[in-house]
């Protein structure tokens, strides 16, 4: 006897198939852009998903996981310490040190106070400078005009290694043109910190456009995990 699928839309394909299908699409998009898929890291965003799903993905060879809430990220990282944890959500200054203690990569560094709160001696944490590509200042990310200054601040901070730049494409814009703007900003940041060559961009709905514009780190959730359980 088989279990009925819980969701009303019907049965979703198995995790392994979804993962393989996304890996194929990443490879195809990389080849179309004249890039090697080997230079692209896929971070599977497992926010709101149970630990069991993370375990299944790890068994399928996934090593990089993304979370956007401190408590959930901390608990998952404590349960599965051998994986690489990427913090991708807006980060409060008072939680910065704690996130640093379990996350290997923080994608959402977007203001000077947060740089100062994250700075600490010891094993460096890898960070992305997040920029806001929308006109809405309440969204996460530094204003594009502040990106170079923030890059300098990160460079000067103890125990932070700037990998590059990160953004979420605005809903109201063609993703490819937003990611083209991000690529220009990445060049400006690289002129300040030459080693900051990475670009974290591309989610379930737009990762192919991000690959075409040079993304090195994709943050993909639902296209791999299936729909998210409702928020607690
Ligand atoms: C949730 C989230 C993602 C993944 O979104 P999907 O549409 O599920 O792929 C990527 N980046 C950030 C910052 C997120 O919060």
Residue 20, SS3 per DSSP: helix
Q: How far apart are CA 232 and CA 229, in angstroms?
A: 9
- pLDDT at position 2 is 46
Q: Is 168 in the pocket of ligand 1 (CB under 6 A)?
A: yes
Give the Å distance between the CA of 65 and the centre of ligand 1: 11
Give the Å distance between the CA of 140 and the centre of ligand 1: 13
154-184 pLDDT, tens digit each: 999 999 999 999 999 999 999 999 999 999 9
Q: Is 218 in the pocket of ligand 1 (CB under 6 A)?
A: no
| Pairing verdict, β 160-166 and 125-130 | parallel
Q: What percent of the chain has pLDDT over 90?
A: 90
State the DSSP code for 144: G
> Between helices 147-156 and 175-192, what is the axis angle to 10°?
40
Q: Which residue bears the tokens 């094993």? A: 123
Q: Is 47 in the pocket of ligand 1 (CB under 6 A)?
A: yes
- pLDDT at position 43 is 98
71-129 pLDDT, tens digit each: 999 999 999 989 999 999 999 999 999 999 999 999 999 999 999 999 999 999 999 99
Confidence tier at 194 by pLDDT (50, 70, 90): very high
Q: How far apart are CA 122 and CA 44, in angstroms?
A: 27
The Cβ-side half-sphere exposure at 39, using a 13 Å CA radius, reads: 15
**Per-residue pLDDT for 5 more than 50?**
no
CA torsion sign for 56, 57, 63, 65 is negative
Confidence tier at 226 by pLDDT (50, 70, 90): very high
Q: How much is the pTM?
A: 0.94
Nearest Cα to Cα of residue 217 among 169, 159, 167, 144: 167
Average pLDDT, integer, range 14-41 = 98
For residues 118 and 157, the answer to whether their CB atoms sit within 8 Å is yes
> Rg of the Cα trace of the chain?
18
Phi/psi of residue 104, each to 5°?
-85, -25
Contact partners, residue 231, CB within 8 Å, separation at least 6:
48
**Per-residue pLDDT for 204 more than 80?**
yes
State the DSSP code for 131: B
Pocket test for ligand 1, best of 132, 175, 221 (most atoms within 8 A of CB): 221
**Per-residue pLDDT for 11 more than 80?**
no
Q: Is 41 in the pocket of ligand 1 (CB under 6 A)?
A: no
The CA-to-CA distance between both ends of the chain, in Å, stands at 31
Q: Please report, for the chain, the start and end positions of each structural domain, with discontinuous segments joined by +.
A: 15-224
Q: For all residues of the chain together, what is the average pLDDT?
A: 94
Q: Is 141 in the pocket of ligand 1 (CB under 6 A)?
A: no
Q: Is 204 in the pocket of ligand 1 (CB under 6 A)?
A: yes
Q: How far apart are CA 34 and CA 17, in angstroms?
A: 26
- pLDDT at position 8 is 46
**Per-residue pLDDT for 1 more than 50?**
no
- pLDDT at position 232 is 56
Average pLDDT, integer, range 36-45 = 98
Residue 149 CB neighbour total at 10 angstroms: 11
- pLDDT at position 10 is 57
- pLDDT at position 9 is 52
Give the Å distance between the CA of 220 and the centre of ligand 1: 6
Give the Å distance between the CA of 1 and the centre of ligand 1: 35
Average pLDDT, integer, range 193-219 = 98
The CATH number that domain 15-224 falls under is 3.20.20.10
Q: Is 86 in the pocket of ligand 1 (CB under 6 A)?
A: no
Give the Å distance between the CA of 106 and the centre of ligand 1: 14
**Per-residue pLDDT for 13 more than 90?**
no
Partnered with residue 41 across adjacent β-strands are: 217
**Per-residue pLDDT for 50 more than 60?**
yes
């Amino acid at each position: 006897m088989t279990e009925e699928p819980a969701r009303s839309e019907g049965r979703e394909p198995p995790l392994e198939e979804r993962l393989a299908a996304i890996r194929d699409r990443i490879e195809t998009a990389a080849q179309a852009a004249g890039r090697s898929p080997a230079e692209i890291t896929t971070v599977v965003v497992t926010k709101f998903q149970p630990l069991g799903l993370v375990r299944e993905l790890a068994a399928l060879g996934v090593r990089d996981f993304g979370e956007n809430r401190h408590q959930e990220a901390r608990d998952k990282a404590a349960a599965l310490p051998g994986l690489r944890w990427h913090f991708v959500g807006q980060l409060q200054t008072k939680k910065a040190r704690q996130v640093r203690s379990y996350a290997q990569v923080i994608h959402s560094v977007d203001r000077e106070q947060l740089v100062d709160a994250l700075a600490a001696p010891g094993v460096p944490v890898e960070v992305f400078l997040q920029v806001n590509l929308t006109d809405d200042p309440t969204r996460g990310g530094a204003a594009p005009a502040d990106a170079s200054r923030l890059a300098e601040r990160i460079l000067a901070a103890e125990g932070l290694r700037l990998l590059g730049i990160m953004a979420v494409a605005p809903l109201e814009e063609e993703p490819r043109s937003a990611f083209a703007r991000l690529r220009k900003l990445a060049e400006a940041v690289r002129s300040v910190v030459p080693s900051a060559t990475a670009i974290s961009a591309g989610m379930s709905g737009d990762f192919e456009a991000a690959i075409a514009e040079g993304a090195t780190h994709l943050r993909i959730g639902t296209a791999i995990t299936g729909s998210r359980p409702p928020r607690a």
